[in-house]
Structure formats: C-alpha cells, structure tokens
Amino acid sequence: MRPARVLAQAQLVNSIGDGAFYVSSALFFSRVVGLSVLEIGVGLTVGWATGLLAGVPVGRLADRLGPRPVAIVAGLVTAVAIGAFLLVRDPVTFTLACCLYAAAQTGSGAARQALLAAVVAPAERTAVRARIQALGNAGIGVGAAVGGLALLVGTPAAFVAVFVLDALGFLAAALVLRRLPRGSHAPAAAPARSEVLRDGPYALVTLLQAVMLLYMPMLSVVAPLWIATRTAAPAWTVAGLFVVNTVGVVLLQVRAGRRVSDVASASRVVRRAGILLLAACGAFAAAALGASPWVAGAILLVAAVLQVGGEVLLSAGGWQLSFDLAPAGRQGQYQGFFAMASSVARAAGPLLLTGLVIGGGEGADDGRGFLGWLVLGVVFLVAGAATGPVARWAAHRSTACTNDRSCPA
C-alpha cells in the first residue's frame, strides 16, 4: 500500500473520534465532572503550554529513532490521555490530563509530519498533506455528528462512549501506521543538538505562521461571540459557519495544495491568504450593520467563504515552507518547532482577540468592534506579506547549512 494512503487512513480513523470529542468534551467536563468554566480554561491553557514545550524534543527524538516508531508511540499515549480524562475528578487531575493530552497531540503531529517528509517525495508532500487534511476534515464532520448525538442524549454514558471512540481511533491509527515499512524512513545522521532553536529565520517564519493561525480562535471563539452579541443573525448561524468551513476545506484544500511546489509559490499563496483573511474580517464587521437576520446571515456567509479561502491557502503555503526550509535529516525537530505556531495561536488567541474585537461584551460600542476587526485584518495582511521575504532569507540560510554543514547566526 502506498505510504500516502496509509497516512491518510491513519488521519481519517482518529479524526472521526476527534470530531466527536471536540463537540462534546467541554460539556462533559462541566456537566458530568462538575468543573467550572474558569477551571476548564486554566487547565486547557496550562495543557497547551505544555504541548508547546513538547514539540521540539519529540521531533528531535523522531530524527534520532525514526518518525514511524515515535508517531506510533505518540498515538498510543494520546489514547491513554483521552482515557485519563474519564478519571478526572478535580481541577488538578484535569490539568494533568490536559498536559499529557496536549504533549502527546503536539508530539504526534510533529512525528507524523516528519514521517510524511520521509516517505513522500519532496515534490508531492504538500499535495499529499492537502489530501490528508481534506480527509481529516471530512472525518471530523462525521465525528461532530456523533458528538451531537451524545449531546442530544445527554447521559454520562453517552459522553463516556465519545471518549472511548476517540481513544479507540488513536489506537487504530497507531496500528495503521505500523503498515509503513520499517527501514524506509530511518534517519541518516540525526544531530546531537536541537539546531532549530538557533535557526532565527525559521523561527521568524514560524512566528508569522502563528500570527496567521489566529484565524482559528477568530472562527471558533470571536465570531460566535460577535454573532451573538452584535448581529441580528440567529444563533444557529454559528453552526452554519462551521459547516461552511468543514465542507469548504474538504472541497478546496486539495486544489489549493496543487498551487504550491516551492518556497516562492508558497510565499505567494500565504500572501493571498492574508488578503482573503483581511476581507473576511471586514465582512464579519459589516455583519453588525445588517438590520434583518437574513441580511446579517448573508454577510456572515460571505465572511465564512472568504475565511475558508484564506485558511486553505495558508495551510498549503505553511506546509510547503515547513518542509522546504528544514535541513535534511532534521525534519522531526523542525516540524515539532513549526507545530508550536498552532499551539501559540490556540493558547494566546482567545484572550487577545476577544479583548480586541468584543471588548466590553454585549452592549459595548460597535465602533470599537469595527476597529478591532480592521486591526486584526491588517495584522493578517502584514503577516502574509512579510512571509515571503522572511522565507527567502530562511531558504538562503538552509542552503548555507546544507552546503557548508554549518548554520550561521
């Protein structure tokens, strides 16, 4: 079986459980376990901060031992972490379980990216990653429907079934990855130290990626609050936005991946992603001007389409840059470092963006919200435009490292 197909199957089987977990886990912790919103928020923040620290060490381990065994073990640890959530009884155990879960998830992502780089030809990596992403989103959509059934039933047993499903999904994914040949991805000469931590250009590319990835809390946190407090759109519009996002990624991600083949094309699509995300921010702001639910809903639909366009372009460009700018033999630690961008956006984004856009909450001055959306959009635009020059600098440095076997500061 082709390695790309194996990676896609692994992504699909664990994404179904993930979709159910994402939809229902917060209510499980609040209604069944009895944690407060603050306790859940603190636990998740501490957990993802831990995950932030795990990416590079796990990636470096993948460079030394090979990404296949590390990816398999990380999947097994993730399954254990999900099971540990069922044992949570207080904020302390919840936070510990979050730390284990986030570290395993971050490490698994780094190892799988390194594994993809090892078993897929360089010219095909972004296209393959796009297919995996599209298939994963489809799985999440199916899982979300399963999670919705658990919410509808509402019993503790229904929530437990979701967690069991997610854990089994990661176990199944680990078994699927065992189909990959053992010797096809053994590291040639893994470095004795984490060189990515001294690679300033790559770090700056990662920082710009983290800024661009603020679209994630924008969609999952800020947009729902904005819709509920500042627009005339009905509450179910929020669910509609997620449907548009899921379907859009499934339909468009592969096509976007075909546009990218090197650092130059990746920089172009990231720049275009910044433009589309700026337009999406403008549309979200304009939705507050719609006097009727239908007008507001139509504007929000436009915003959702613009956002998903920016998302798929950013994903394609980011994957290509993460692969091409990493020196040979160091994909694990570099992918682990690049994965930190997502963790940073998830950890810092909700607080930053709600303060910027929502401000005082319901009844606050809309002018501040409009300005907040504009500022956020300009941030996307600037980060997208800056990615190209920084990526060229990083590519020059990566070439120097390869040719001279040294990494100048």
Q: Which residue stretches of the chain have pLDDT < 70?
A: 1, 182-194, 360-366, 398-409
Strand, helix or coil at 190? coil
Per-residue model confidence (pLDDT) at position 399: 64
Strand, helix or coil at 150? helix
Calpha distance 322→340 (Å, rounded): 12
pLDDT digits (tens, 9 = 90+) for 252-278: 999 999 889 899 999 999 999 999 999
Per-residue model confidence (pLDDT) at position 192: 47
pLDDT digits (tens, 9 = 90+) for 317-354: 999 999 999 887 788 888 889 988 988 888 788 778 88
Per-residue model confidence (pLDDT) at position 243: 83
Of 136, 20, 52, 94, nearest to 339 by C-alpha is 52
- Per the CB < 8 A criterion, the answer to whether 255 and 194 are in contact is no
Calpha distance 47→91 (Å, rounded): 12
Calpha distance 187→210 (Å, rounded): 28
- Per the CB < 8 A criterion, the answer to whether 273 and 383 are in contact is no
Calpha distance 41→62 (Å, rounded): 31
Calpha distance 116→29 (Å, rounded): 34
Burial state string for 74-99 with b = 16 or more CB within 10 A and e = fewer than 16? bbbbbbbbbbbbbebeebeebbbbbb
Per-residue model confidence (pLDDT) at position 401: 57
Per-residue model confidence (pLDDT) at position 409: 43
Calpha distance 385→389 (Å, rounded): 8
Per-residue model confidence (pLDDT) at position 62: 87
Asked whether the whole model's pTM tops 0.95, one would answer no
pLDDT digits (tens, 9 = 90+) for 211-250: 999 999 898 778 888 988 889 988 778 778 888 888 999 9
Per-residue model confidence (pLDDT) at position 402: 54
Calpha distance 55→233 (Å, rounded): 40
